[in-house]
Structure 1
Amino acid sequence: MLSARQDIIAWNPLAAALMTDFAAMAPQDRNVVRWLFTGPDIERYGADEHVTQFARGLVADLRAAFGRYPGDAGIAGLVAEVADRSALFARLWDEGEVGVRRGSRKRMRHPVVGELDMHCDVLYVPERDQRVVLYTTTPGTPSHEAMKLLRVVGTQDLGIR
């Protein structure tokens, strides 16, 4: 579950196994914008069309939140911090796109279970201005089998990179 500012405020064990152990992160680091644009992998991912599309949608969604909460120091501070640290974020922010993320296809490479092709749906809880993000795979596909394995493996460090 995400806040309007894209803070990760709740997750289940499979989300932690898929992405990272959020409980092991400092609360201020549990922010999708900060994580994507200032993480060590952004340069590697920057050329990926799917990541660029996700990044563009994420910035447009954050800009929509900024419009709903123009005096919010948390959003303004996040924008200033990430724009200072990421040329890609600064460029996308300057483009001025406003939008609401609804869903997309996602491809991920997990270090234990390998390639995953998933559908990502974003469901809105308007009275709380929060988002529930659902990742699903198509039954019978290799991605579905990989997710079933990931449910068993969880966040164990198997020494595979």
Structure 2
Amino acid sequence: MDRSELAAVLRTARSRVKPADVGLPAGPRRQVPGLRREEVAQLAGLGVDYVIRLEQGRGPRPSTQVLGALARALRLSDDDRDTLFRLAGSAPPQAGRVPMHVRPSVLRLLDRMSDLPALVLSAKSDVLAWNPLATALFGDFSELPPARRNLIRQRFLGTGVGRVTLSPDSDSAADCVGCLRTARARYPDDPDLARLIADLRTGSAPFDSLWQAARSGRLRAGSTTIKHSELGPLTLDCDVLLVPETDQTVLVYSAEPGTSSASALELLRVTGLEQFTY
């Protein structure tokens, strides 16, 4: 691990990212170019002190999950991400692992979806990126460690961010389990995927029952009902946009005009964004 060079790369990368690039207000008193350390820490789901130590060249060796979270928060290209991993003494993500790095062009697309909640998911349903309206709907994913930002884990183990409840008994639950079986066939050597499946089979009888059915699946566009802690049940259309190069998907939620769910989304655009924009 080259601590001094890693620190320099992190500081430089932070200075290149504008607040608007990640959906943050610049504010009138910003005195540093790019992002503040606190903002990087929140986007990556890390402690501020940890980020400070890394930038000062005195931090511990970061795990691959931490490196991936930093690469996404700093919007690094694939080459810069690989450099980050090597400087930290870790091998860059391998072809046999689930791709966890979101392309900058996809992040730019997410930024422009300002009127609808949108998420970027990995092949095993990790929430890799989200826009402000998704935060208003689901809660702040940055409050969770990266390993727990997973919609299937949230559905079956209830480890989400607390604003939305997804039922393990809904019609789409079987498709979710099938997605993991499909992912395991594509990435049989991914340890994080194997760990996720083991946790779900141990912790959720409904998941284990569906897993034993041995059916593959994929995310499908359709209507879904979620229970919001403040707004109650919301019936939303969920469209699935594929990013084939990285085996990722963009989920975009909307509601039929004139419905109570459409009114609830409109309310979130006002009150929710005021609450969760920092």
**TM-score tier (shorter):** 0.7 to 0.9
- 1:40 deviates by 6.9
Which whole-Å deviations, capped at 9, do the CAs of 1:18-39 have from their partners, x for residues lacking one? 1121111121110112111111
TM-score (norm 1): 0.85
Give me the identity figure in percent: 42
Structure 1 counterpart of 2:269: 151
Q: Does 1:104 align with 2:222?
A: yes
CA contact (8 A) 1:113 1:150 kept: no
List runs of 5+ in structure 1 lacking aligned partners: none
Secondary structure of residue in 2 paired with 1:138: coil
Which of 174, 181, 193 is residue 56 of structure 1 equivalent to? 174
Q: Does 1:25 align with 2:144?
A: yes
Output the amino acid matched with 1:122. Answer: V
Structure 2 counterpart of 1:72: 190
* RMSD (Å), alpha carbons: 2.2
Output the amino acid matched with 1:74. Answer: D
CA contact (8 A) 1:102 1:123 kept: no
Q: Which has the higher contact order (CA 8 A, sep 6+)?
A: 1
Q: Structure 1: which 4+ aligned runs deviate by more than 6 Å?
A: none
Output the amino acid matched with 1:109. Answer: K
Secondary structure of residue in 1 paired with 2:129: coil
CA contact (8 A) 2:148 2:159 kept: no
User: How far apart in 1 are the matches of 2:225 and 2:126?
Assistant: 22
Structure 1 counterpart of 2:111: none
- 1:52 deviates by 2.4
Aligned residues: 152
- 1:115 deviates by 2.9
TM-score (norm 2): 0.51
List runs of 5+ in structure 2 lacking aligned partners: 1-119, 161-165
Secondary structure of residue in 1 paired with 2:239: strand
